[in-house]
Structure 1
Amino acid sequence: MQKTILLLSVIFFSNFILAQTESNSAASWLNKNCIPIKYVKAENGFDDLNPLKDLIGDARIVSLGECTHGSSEVFSMKHRMLEYLVKEKGFTIFSIEANMPEAYALNEYIIDGKGDPRKLMAGMYFWTWYTQEVLDMIEWMKKYNETATKKIMFTGFDMQFSDVSIKILREYLIVNNNNLLSILNDYDSLYKKKQMKKNESTDNFKKLKADAQILLDSLNAHKPMAYNKDFNWAFQNARILWQYAANHFSNPARDESMAENVKWILDENPSAKIVLWAHNGHIRKDKDGFEYKSMGEYLDKMYGKQMIAIGFATAEGTYTAVQRDGKKFIGLDSTNTLLTKEGSYESFFNIAETADLILDLRNISKGQEGTGWIQEKRLFRSIGAVAMNKFQFAKINLISHFDMIIFIRKTSASKCFSIKKLAGN
């Protein structure tokens, strides 16, 4: 019995020493290779971000992720990254995970100075972006545009609603091709009917998709010979009608559609560089750990090294998300707690001397001392719009998912303007 206890003690202390050695080695490597972040808020200069100049290089797309849809400091740091990329690297397009034409409406404010920014933000439908942090970023964009030669454009790449696309397409058809109005009206009628019902039949979505395809084919048959901005915008909104219907049949359809919409934005602005704002799960470059391909995977195939995917991580704090009771959604809550997980990527980032950091993942060689932990599949936080009280982590290969990581040790819930309202209102 004593021998057994002694053996178990030896094993325990051996494992403890090995774990401590790995932890010390990882901390040493992190401290030497990370870029410490001094500020997470914008308009604090770029002294700490100067190393990004070479790391970003000539990339045309920089994707900024997030580990939750409701972390204040993550949103603020994304704002700061946008400021850096605009001022130091010449980026002129911002695009967010929000419905495309509704997001474009923000240009009325940031470029033309027209309208109420909060109303325009609310017009994007999602509580996730209806926050003080996003408003602060929009106000900064407007202020920047007042004196900038090359103005920032606000865009979106999502396609989960058809409302505004129907309106835009109707306005175009009335002037240019009123023969298609009956098809659009059929789509509109069925779309409104679908919006009123929670469990709409697949047949109705098939009809929506068929109507959208007729619109696309007919518009394409009458495509102007020369470049025509109005036609291209109308055609793109017809594509959103099709994408909306297609999304009913296949969950991955949304990510593929979002990638196509990003490509459309870049094709319309061939000399521009774009900053994307979305969840980590949409910007990731690898399917590993997930059921379907992400927007980032599609874009990686299209643009390769022209795109840099920057994931975000945090170790502790609170976040805003929708709470539910069983299957019933009961409203937004800003007191949701981020769980800690021993052995996760976050637990290793947390041992660095600096609380907030940027880490380039692209040139980590096998066998490099202190990097064993980051070259293994580990748990990594991933929370969407719905609060996850237990299952906050997914097992992934961090290096294959992202080019860089921004880690912010402690975060708080986003300052959401909808927090007192029921989710979805």
Structure 2
Amino acid sequence: MKKIVIIIGCALLLILGVFTINSRYEKYEENKAVAVLKNKIVKIKTVKAENDFKDLMPLKNILKDKKIVAMGEATHGTKEFFQMKHRMLKFLVEKMDYNVFGIEACMSECMAVNDYVLYGKGEAEQVVKKMGFWTWDTKEVVDMVKWMREYNENHTKKVKFYGFDMQSSCTAVEKVQAYLKKVDKEYENKVDSILLEFKDPKTLHGNNKKLHGNEVKKIMCMFEKNKNEYISKSSKEEYELYKQNLKIIDEAYDFFKGNQSNSQMQTKRDKYMAENIKWILNFEGQDTKIMVWAHNWHVSKVADNINNIGENVKRMGSNLYDMYKDKLYVIGFQFSEGTVTAVDKSINRGEESVMLKKCTLHAAKKGSIPYILSKVDPLFFIDFKSVNTNKYVKEFISTPKTCRYVDANFNGEDESYETNILDQCYDGLIYIDKISNSELI
């Protein structure tokens, strides 16, 4: 018996010793990676959109051949993420000839924002609210939209505003109806009742009514058949724009209807968002360069597993990468701690809630990506290609580690983490140590 106790004790000591050695080696690797990163980062002096871009100038060489810069966000409710993206848009427009901005919001609803930034139609706060996403109803987004208007007033080459999402067909129906009344009133009268089915959001989101999705495809075919006639009564640009609005109706129908899993729905949405960005680039011409704004999940270049159910979602960034390869550059965001605006579902789990709150996240847990990055600098950009030759940094960015993630909902501190491989998801990353909640308008 005594011999067994000794053997067990020795085994436990051996296991403890191995664990201690591994822990110390991981700590050693972590410190080595931090030391290298300190010398490789691009330090950012501010997230605010100022005229001085000296700190961002190293990005010119990194982004010089890109057609799309896709910028993520680790939460949908962070002031500093929004401000930094405003600053990046200003930098890309003024220093790198970017001329289009796209956001994760419905394409048809965003046409009003484009009319504001190009022609001064309406008020900034109102057109932003009409995008239909509370996440963008913020002072930070309004400030960016106002800057776009101010820029366009003082420059010949304009910067345009687009949405690329497709979760609503209401405004798209109005656009298509108005166009058909202009170019083919008789046909519009014939299909008006079909189009009206897709104008009420309750019928699109509900399951109590069978919508005529195939009839929308027939209207799309009619657009193609009468292309020359419609263009002669309007213009090629108008024809293409309103045909795309018709496609948004078809995409929204396909997204919401049918017997499909959540991952299948999300895969469709990300596929359509990528296709809509491609349409924007084609519509605006071959010299167009676009900055894209969406959540980290959507800009990611890899498929991810939602809800741990074994079904992967092929993300928008992955679809864009298939289309544009090295003409795409994806920037993710990370943070350690702070407050975010979100629908707080952390208290009454399972209950439906639409209450927006300031939700608090404490310092990132040990071993996570933001915990390690917090030791590098409080505000910086890192290009992964420039650091992957160092074995310690390579291990850090190329192996699975936990990142911070919050979407429109806050499900609690423990739920604010997700495992990712940094250099597979993104080409670079902006780290902001302490964040604060976005300011709702």
Question: TM-score normalised to the size of structure 1?
Answer: 0.91
Q: Corresponding residue for 1:382? A: 405
2:325 aligned with 1:317: no
Q: 1:180 corresponds to which letter in structure 2? A: Y
In structure 2, which of residues 208, 222, 226 is the aligned counterpart of residue 222 of structure 1?
226
Q: Corresponding residue for 1:104? A: 111
CA drift of 1:239 comes to 0.3
Structural mapping, 1:47-126, within 5 Å: 47-126=54-133
2:243 aligned with 1:267: no
2:236 aligned with 1:236: no
2:175 aligned with 1:168: yes
Query: Which stretch has the larger CA shift, 70-79 or 372-381?
Result: 372-381
Structural mapping, 1:183-194, within 5 Å: 184-192=191-199
2:428 aligned with 1:404: yes
C-alpha contact 2:43 2:55 (8 A) present in aligned 1:
yes
Q: 2:336 corresponds to which letter in structure 1? A: A
**Which blocks of at least 5 consecutive residues in structure 1 are unaligned?**
418-425
CA drift of 1:366 comes to 6.2
**Are the structure 2 counterparts of residues 95 and 367 from structure 1 closer, same or farther at C-alpha, using a change threshold of 3 Å?**
closer
CA drift of 1:365 comes to 4.0
CA drift of 1:402 comes to 0.6
C-alpha contact 2:343 2:408 (8 A) present in aligned 1:
yes
**Which blocks of at least 5 consecutive residues in structure 2 are unaligned?**
1-5, 259-263, 307-311
Q: 1:263 corresponds to which letter in structure 2? A: K
Structural mapping, 1:140-219, within 5 Å: 140-182=147-189, 184-192=191-199, 195=202, 199-201=206-208, 204-205=210-211, 207=212, 209-219=213-223
C-alpha contact 1:323 1:387 (8 A) present in aligned 2:
yes
> C-alpha separation between the residues in 1 aligned to 2:147 and 2:72?
20
Structural mapping, 1:308-347, within 5 Å: 308-324=329-345, 325=348, 326-337=350-361, 340-347=364-371
CA drift of 1:179 comes to 3.7
Quote the RMSD (CA, aligned, Å).
2.2
Q: Report the 3-state secondary structure (helix = DSSP H, G, I; strand = E; otherwise coil) of the residue aligned with 1:106.
A: helix
Q: Corresponding residue for 1:420? A: none
Q: Report the 3-state secondary structure (helix = DSSP H, G, I; strand = E; otherwise coil) of the residue aligned with 2:85.
A: helix
Q: Corresponding residue for 1:277? A: 293
C-alpha contact 2:383 2:429 (8 A) present in aligned 1:
yes
Q: 1:327 corresponds to which letter in structure 2? A: E
C-alpha contact 2:339 2:359 (8 A) present in aligned 1:
yes
- Residue correspondences, number: 413
> C-alpha separation between the residues in 1 aligned to 2:320 and 2:282?
13
Structural mapping, 1:349-388, within 5 Å: 349-352=373-376, 354-365=377-388, 368-388=391-411
2:47 aligned with 1:35: no
CA drift of 1:218 comes to 0.7
> C-alpha separation between the residues in 2 aligned to 1:30 and 1:269?
39
Greater helix share, 1 or 2? 2
> C-alpha separation between the residues in 2 aligned to 1:46 and 1:52?
10
> C-alpha separation between the residues in 2 aligned to 1:406 and 1:373?
16
Post-superposition CA distance 1:290-335 (Å, at most 9, x none): 5211111111111111111111111111101112332311411123
After TM superposition, the runs of 4+ consecutive aligned structure 1 residues lying more than 6 A away are none
CA drift of 1:364 comes to 4.5
